[in-house]
Amino acid sequence: MSEIHAPILSVDHVGVRFGGLVAIADLHFDVHPGEIVSLIGPNGAGKTTAFNVMTGFLKPSQGQVRFRGTSLQGLQPHEIVRLGLSRTFQRTSVFPDDTVVDNVMIGLHRRGRGRLVDSLLGQDRTGEAALRDRARALLDWVGLSGRAQDKAGSLAYGEQRLVGVALALATEPAMLLLDEPVSGMNASETQVFVRLIRSIRERGITILLVEHDMPMVMEVSDRIVVLNYGRLIAEGPPAAIRADPAVIEAYLGQGSAAREAAQAARETIDA
């Protein structure tokens, strides 16, 4: 991990209310350049709500988010992407009837403003060829170079998630937010994704992820931020989170699936 400097992302006492329901209360934490940070918590803890605030899909009721020292207050999602903060989503978001490489080309066109119109008019062919080369390079990075000409809808679920990552990387982010990236993946697919996350960090991209797969979280994270009922209850390295009584209580009080997650986290650290 790179040397820690000023935060690249600051969540500054953010609160979100939906009528009388408090979804997030006074959430505050920082992410520093080069870190891999996981945001975890039982179902309904407010993790995706927090992601939506950070990326402009939801306005906070109080507080603010700053990225590279700039307040994101009032900015639209596409404006935040242009600042260098990009995300993936829980559900796959590919264009199923287009080829995999064309899906990534769409992301590159969005990054290169005006080029889509040029290509539709048959202009800027040199630029178009360069973008296609870039798209293929991104697919090679995420391990999908052999599927470039396949229809995106024909890919397995895990492969479609990788296309989503390539689309996010096409925006050339300084920081990438991954929303449950290994959900629905088997153990082998998850390990492929872990290696991808590390390779993304090696390219200088900071990562914040929401994930329920506790062994994966414990393996890949530098730090973990834990929410419960919309409140920050713990923050620290995996070993500290594994032993934190408040974290254990939060998971053990949430039913069998959460208990299994807590047990998996403990076993991962003990191994």
Tell me the residue range of the domain where 81 lies: 9-94+155-270
**Does residue 2 lie in a domain region?**
no
The whole-angstrom separation of Cα 124 and Cα 212 is 45
Domain assignment present for 167: yes
Model pLDDT, residue 119: 44
For the chain, the domain total comes to 1
> What Cα–Cα distance (Å) separates residue 79 from each residue in 8, 67, 76, 94?
17, 12, 5, 21
Judge whether 112 lies within some domain: no
What is the average per-residue pLDDT within 161-187? 89
Place of tokens 């997030």: 24
Helix ranges restricted to H, 70-114: 77-83, 100-111
Whether residue 233 has pLDDT greater than 70: yes
Structure tokens at 179: 């929303």
Torsion over CA: 112, 65, 212, 265 (sign) = positive
- 247 is a domain residue: yes
Residue 213 has pLDDT above 70, yes or no: yes
Cβ atoms of 133 and 121 closer than 8 Å: no
Q: Does residue 109 lie within any of the structural domains?
A: no
Which percentage of the chain shows pLDDT scores above 90? 55
Reply yes or no on whether the pLDDT at 263 is more than 70: no
Mean predicted confidence (pLDDT) in 199-216 = 93
- Does residue 183 or residue 71 have the better pLDDT? 71
pLDDT tens digits along 70-112: 999 999 999 999 999 999 886 666 788 899 999 888 878 766 5
Which CATH number belongs to the domain containing residue 215 in this structure?
3.40.50.300
